[in-house]
Amino acid sequence: MVKGISRRVIVVRSPDQRLFEQAIFLLKEDALEQQGVTAQQVVQEAKEVADSYLRKNTASKRRFSWLQQHKGWLWFLAGAACAGIAAAMVL
């Protein structure tokens, strides 16, 4: 919680708003005073961080979702494989 302090923020709006509406970044006090750092570079860095976070944290959920959607077929194939192995052992 920030009390009585004025802070600079960058708001990055999500192009795909299914997951997030926006990301809010709090700038360090000296972020724009550093040598050679422009406001455009700071905004670009914020966008890259937000994109990286989404790529890392939604990829595994998509894979898990795929497994959930095909769970019945996977169990069927596992059962068929076990039945095949059992039949081969009997012969």
Is the residue at 1 inside a domain? no
Whether this prediction's pTM lies above 0.85 is answered by: no
Assess whether pLDDT exceeds 70 at residue 62.
Answer: no
- Sequence-distant (≥ 6) Cβ neighbours of residue 13 within 8 angstroms: 21, 22
User: How many independent structural domains does the chain possess?
Assistant: 1
Domain interval for residue 69: 9-90
The tally of CA atoms less than 13 A away on the side-chain side of residue 90 is: 6
Q: How far apart are CA 4 and CA 56, in angstroms?
A: 35
Average pLDDT of span 44-66: 74
Judged by DSSP in three states, 14 sits in coil
Is the residue at 3 inside a domain? no
Q: Which two tokens stand for residue 12?
A: 């990055």
pLDDT at residue 1, as a whole number:
58
Is the residue at 59 inside a domain? yes
**Tens of pLDDT along 10-34?**
888 877 777 778 888 888 877 777 7
